Amino acid sequence: MRSLFLILAACLPLLAADRIRVQIITGGHAHDLGFYSLFEGQPGLAVSINPHPSAYRSDLRGKVDVLVLYDLHDLATDVQKKNLQDYLESGGGLVVLHHALADNWQWRWWYQDVVGGRFLMGAEGAAPGSTAKAPVRLSVRPVARHPVLDGVEAFTLDDEGYKGMWLSPKSTPLLETASAENDAVNDKVVAWIGPWPKSRVVAIQLGHGAGAYTSETYRRLVRNAIAWAAPAPTSRTAASSRE
């Protein structure tokens, strides 16, 4: 019995290291509390919530494996920007959901190099601001073979349409709308891989409310995105050892 206890005790740090440390950033936009159900029943995740204004106030390296953004906020201080940049430079994963596509919409490094897309909160030059409309029923289909799409087939979702966003030509589309009826209220691409080369970035336009949170396909999509964006377990262990 004592030997079994020692074996289990030795395994506990390894089991903890295998859990993906997810930090959810919220604030700046009201949302249904049902959003948090996306992370229930997932023993492989260690989830924390860090709302604004406390988000990005401290160094995230070695403490977080994947940032999940569900906020609507522009970073105002150099400290916050540096902490976010350092995290992504070090290989930290990023999943950007729905209205968080409007975060930092005038910070070129962020929307161009990292996320690879943005919702324009206002006109910029000749480009008008993006528009949103809800509720809309979106028909969505995969357009790539990718781990984020494991188990994800064509589906419909009652959600919010975004029209007139900017998408980088360097982004890799994962999901597109599949109905001509959606074209008037939503852009074609609704999920993509961002162009950032130093870590893994997934952007998913979908996720407005209960229509998404209760969709098993959407839930799977978010789970897959987190799992893929996370650094390898060996990298997570090495980062933690440097804390």
* pLDDT confidence bin for 8, thresholds 50/70/90: very low
pLDDT (tens digit per residue) in 38-76: 999 999 999 999 999 999 999 999 999 999 999 999 998
Answer yes or no: are the C-beta atoms of 98 and 132 closer than 8 Å. no
Please list the residues that pair with 193 across neighbouring strands.
172, 202
pLDDT (tens digit per residue) in 74-123: 998 999 999 999 999 999 999 999 999 999 999 999 999 999 999 999 99
139: tokens are: 């028909």
pLDDT (tens digit per residue) in 27-43: 999 999 999 999 999 99
pLDDT of residue 233: 78
Superfamily of domain 2-241 in CATH is Class I glutamine amidotransferase (GATase) domain (3.40.50.880)
Q: What is the DSSP string of 170-208?
A: TSEEEEEE--GGGTTTS-SEEEEE---SSS-EEEE----
How big is the CA angle at 119 (ends 88 and 101), to the nearest 5 degrees?
35
The residue count for the chain: 243
